[in-house]
Structure 1
Amino acid sequence: MSNKDEAITIVSNFLEASMAPDPELAATYMAADVRITFTGGRAMASPQAITDFNSGRYAWVKKALGPFDWTEHEDHTVVYSNGTLYGEWPDGRPFAGNRYLDRFEVRNGRITRMDVWNDSAEWLLTPELNQES
């Protein structure tokens, strides 16, 4: 398996565990010193912190995974996961089509960095942007 294939498999497995949500399994795909930064520049300490944050923002949320893109570097592979989020806001309104982009750095078989961007904050501030509700 190439570095690219291994990195994409690691990221894909991590995302599936995160959506379960199973933060303990998700953590097995991450390095002990992983750097996780969410929207708004929020530093997250662990997959459990991601689950805790999402439980306050959404009643539930899942990803409709799009294609993975990657680039090889000398000592790591960068994997991009893009697609859309769907779920329910805390008030019960459904949503879908919420764009996301996650960037992962994979070194030595573990995710060492994760950066997350999505439209959720904009949709919460301006609900009419969510054409699905």
Structure 2
Amino acid sequence: MTSNTPDAEIVRAYLTASMIPDPDAAAAYMKPGTEITFTGGRIFDHPRGPTAFNAGRYKWVKKRMDRFDVAPGDGETVVYSVGTLYGEWLDGTPFEGNRYVDRFVVRDGMIVKMDVWNDSAERLLVAHGLVEP
């Protein structure tokens, strides 16, 4: 179900804060110690981790949040944010249309788990001539 439920709004607020970037404001939507599994299987326990990682990959990056798919469960809700990334690589080259999917588990009004996938690594491989487009 695609929805703007309260749990989806928590995820939207988290993502909005993380794009400022303001990792401490984003952390207000997460239970302390929440596991964030970022691209490449990197594990972080605070939004500062992904923010620091992104600073080494992008000059800046934002999300076009196209939709939120919500799957209510017993005591928790899984919320998927699906859309595209846009911004600038570190060398100043602009990009857009970079697909992403973020999966969140929300329990008692707080994010308790986050998983992140996007096409950035694949795009960098193509840009550097390491794979065919």
TM-score, length-scaled by structure 1: 0.91
Shift of 1:61: 0.2
More helix, by proportion: 1
2:5 aligned counterpart, secondary structure:
helix
Superposition RMSD in Å: 1.5
- Identity over the aligned pairs, expressed in percent? 56
1:59 aligned counterpart, secondary structure:
strand
Q: Distance in 1 between matches of 2:121 and 2:45?
A: 21
1:18 equivalent in alignment to 2:1: no
Shift of 1:33: 2.4
Residue 84 of structure 2 is matched in structure 1 by 84
Amino acid aligned to 2:77? T
Amino acid aligned to 1:50? P
Provide runs of 4+ in structure 1 moved above 4 Å.
none
CA contact (8 A) 2:88 2:94 kept: yes
Shift of 1:118: 0.2
TM-score, length-scaled by structure 2: 0.91
Unaligned regions of 5+ residues in structure 2, if any? Answer: none
Aligned length: 127
CA contact (8 A) 2:85 2:98 kept: yes
Residue 46 of structure 1 is matched in structure 2 by 46
Unaligned regions of 5+ residues in structure 1, if any? Answer: none
Q: Deviations over 1:44-70 (max 9, x none)?
A: 121111110100010100001111001
Amino acid aligned to 1:94? P
Q: Deviations over 1:66-115 (max 9, x none)?
A: 11001011010000000000000001100000000000000011000000
